[in-house]
Structure formats: structure tokens, C-alpha cells
Amino acid sequence: MARTVLVTGGNRGIGLAIAQAFAKQGDRVAVTHRGSGAPADLFGVQCDITDSAAVDAAFTAVEAELGPVEVLVANAGITDDTLLMRMSEEQFTRVLDTNLTGAFRVAKRATAKMLRARWGRMIFISSVVGLYGGPGQINYAASKAGLVGVARSITRELGSRNITANVVAPGFVETDMTAVLPDDKKTEYLKAIPAGRFATADEVAGVVTWLAGDSAGYVSGAVIPVDGGLGMGH
Ligand code: NDP
């Protein structure tokens, strides 16, 4: 059954791979972007997830074009790495405001329509770093760990209404976000990953589409690693 799907930050990187995977299986797919536009086969809405009014307007536009959002993928995120002693409060709160509060904003806006439909899927893109930790990533790790609390609390609040909320925790995926990392850091990561390689964005997308499908209807409040074994036990 075709669903209406909204992927935040679905204009590039992992979000784009997720959006394209849904489109490929015949779903109606909308993506947010912050001015770059969206690929032609996807419905693009301009939205900065740090702005509640923009989130509301984006959902309204998607509802008008494709119908109520049935599958929400909260994927948009940023890093702003630096060691704790050097991290400004602004650097901390900006990352939290995007990665964690941004996810809260979209989840809240999606809820009424999912409740009415008595069906919904929320998928939060976290990171292995959320539970594993990462030097220089206090802000990022806190925001990504926070998504676990969000998904599990949504599961307890809305689980009886056929709404699931899950977390996908990717390891290292080659995108613009990781392109900025120095080579020695990449080599260091590679040594620690049992799979011996980085993930493709499609490997994350496959888990997200599975979570949104009917066969995953009894999976909720889960944290699903897609990290080649990097975070095992965390
Ligand atoms: P990219 O840097 O390639 O893309 C980030 C996306 O988030 C862009 O679409 C960007 O939009 C959007 N975005 C950022 N800030 C905002 C905002 N305030 N409002 C709306 N959209 C925003 O990242 P990735 O594709 O690598 O990462 C996607 C998600 O996966 C992130 O949550 C990231 O933390 C997570 N992740 C990534 C990993 C990796 O190795 N790459 C590993 C684990 C998790 P715009 O184009 O307008 O800037």
C-alpha cells in the first residue's frame, strides 16, 4: 500500500537515499530542503526545522499535495565538533536545536494526523555516536542519544494507536557530513569497524523502508544499528 512519506533533509546524503528508496517502492515522497530544491521526482518543501512555523507550513504544503504524512523520517542533522573545553554554549545549543528539538518539532506536527488515521511510523536517524560517544562530539552525541528517549516515549504514548517510533543508528556513511573529516580520522574509524568498510547510504535506507512497512508493525522503541558492528554492546 502506497504511503505518504516525509523525509527531513531528504535533498541530499542519507536522507536523499531514504527518499529515493521510498519513491522506488511506489510511495508518495516529500523532502525538506533549505533552498537547494529537491530532485525532480520528489516533492520538495523549503523548511528549516529549527523554525516551528516553517515546519507547520511544510507539513501543510505536503498534506495539500500528497495527503497526511503517514511515515515521518526525522533525518536532518548537523555536526559542529570541538572538544568540550572549547565548545561554546551556542555550539552546543545549535546542534541540539537542530538534531533533537528539530525532531521533536516534526514529530509533534505529524502526530494529530497519525492519531486520526490510527496508523503512523516515525523513524529517527540517530548515530552510533549517540550511545558510543565521540571525542569532540558532546553536542552531537547528546542530541543523538536524546532521540532514543524521544522514540521510546512516543512508543509509550502512542503505541496503542498503531503508531511506531524507532531509532536507526548508522555508523560511518560517506556523505558531505563525513567528507570534511581528515584522512587519519577516517583510517582510525575504519580500523575499529568489524565490517572493515564504511556504509553506503542505501544500506541505511533499506532499514528505514523496512521499519516503515507492514512487516515491522510490532517493532517500536527499538534502536537499530547500521554500523558494521562498530557500536556492538552500546
Ligand atoms: P549531510 O550533511 O549530507 O546532510 C544533512 C541534511 O540535513 C541536509 O539535507 C541539510 O539540509 C539538512 N539540515 C541540516 N540542518 C537543517 C535544518 N536546520 N533544517 C532543515 N534541514 C537541515 O548529512 P548526512 O546525510 O550524512 O546525515 C543525515 C543524518 O544522518 C544526520 O542526522 C546525521 O547526523 C546522521 N548520520 C550520519 C552519519 C554519516 O556518517 N554521514 C552517521 C550517523 C548518522 P540542507 O541541504 O538545506 O543543508
Instruction: Kindly state whether residue 80 falls inside one of the protein's structural domains.
Output: yes
Ligand 1 neighbours, Cβ below 6 Å, are 8-9, 11-15, 32-34, 36, 47-50, 75-78, 98, 125, 127, 170, 172-173, 175-178
Q: Specify the DSSP class assigned to residue 220.
A: -
3-class state of residue 72 by DSSP: strand
CATH of the domain at 77: 3.40.50.720
Q: How many C-beta atoms lie closer than 10 Å to residue 35's C-beta?
A: 7
Q: Would residue 9 be called left, alpha or beta, if left means φ above 0 and alpha means ψ between -120 and 50 degrees?
A: left
Separation between Cα atoms, residue 81 and residue 232, nearest integer Å: 23
Domains of the chain: total: 1
Instruction: Kindly state whether residue 209 falls inside one of the protein's structural domains.
Output: yes
Residue 49 pLDDT: 98
User: What is the predicted ipTM?
Assistant: 0.99
Which of the residues are catalytic? Answer: 140
Show Cβ contacts of residue 44 under 8 Å, excluding neighbours closer than 6 positions.
11, 30, 31, 32, 33, 37, 38
Instruction: Kindly state whether residue 231 falls inside one of the protein's structural domains.
Output: no
Instruction: Kindly state whether residue 99 falls inside one of the protein's structural domains.
Output: yes
Instruction: Kindly state whether residue 218 falls inside one of the protein's structural domains.
Output: yes
Residue 179 pLDDT: 87
* Phi, psi of 209, deg, nearest 5: -65, -35
Q: pTM (2 decimals)?
A: 0.98
Instruction: Kindly state whether residue 155 falls inside one of the protein's structural domains.
Output: yes
Q: Mean pLDDT, to the nearest integer, of 38-61?
A: 97
Domain assignment of residue 152, given as a range = 4-226
Q: How far is the CA of 116 from the centre of ligand 1 (A)?
A: 30
